[in-house]
Chain A
């Protein structure tokens, strides 16, 4: 079992729709959760982070965390063609002493078509 799992997609949604991206993780000691967006040929850039159970909203983006189910998701409302990218879920497994280590999923490719 991979430590962080994402559906590789591609996920295709029409412009204006809600895109839902999901991620599960295996380490119950995980404390911090990050969503990065990576355009083709570019470096990952942070969209959101979440530490506590529940929802966290930032503009068109909402991150949802359920530690009991070991599940984190990202919702993108009013999807735009410019949202087309690979979305990477990253988890901080600070169960030991490696406070800085992030474990990434393989990413989900999102395509928003006009």
Chain B
């Protein structure tokens, strides 16, 4: 079936604008994750959901960043009042349900490249 999809693939915005990044997980995957990846670095955890519940948002850098997944499927990562330091690749991943049995394999989407001018 289709993999994880993200939109837009590229986003250029001016400093101070709000942006919304969308992720559509693999069908049947109830866990969804957001990461940020800087050039030459590994992905950095931002937040994750089981169904519509946000389980961990400890990686969100500050209160300008928020995420939601209201119906337990598509998720939106919103960055308010963007700053140049927010420029990065934002990656979404999904997996089967994760719980006390341990982490499940996460499948990554193609990412959204955000550039804040």
In the complex, what residues of A have CB within 8 A of residue B45's CB?
A: 101-103
Q: Is the CB of B40 closer than 8 A to any CB of chain A?
A: yes
Interface residues on B, range: 20 to 34
Interface residues in A, total, Cβ within 8 A: 28
Q: Which of A41-60 contact B (CB under 8 A)?
A: 42-46, 49, 51
In the complex, what residues of B have CB within 8 A of residue A100's CB?
A: 31, 33, 48, 50, 55-56, 95, 98, 103-104, 106
B69-104 interface code vs A (CB 8 A; 1 in, 0 out): 000000000000000000000010001001110111
A12-46 interface code vs B (CB 8 A; 1 in, 0 out): 00000000000000000001101000000011111
User: Which of A42, A43, A103 has the most chain B CB atoms closer than 10 A to its own CB?
Assistant: A43
**Contact residue among A31, A42, A105, A106 (Cβ-Cβ distance under 8 Å from B103):** A31
Q: Say whether A51 contacts B102, CB under 8 Å.
A: yes
Q: Say whether A101 contacts B41, CB under 8 Å.
A: no
- B residues with a Cβ closer than 8 A to A are 31, 33, 35, 40-45, 48, 50, 55-56, 58-59, 91, 95, 98-100, 102-111
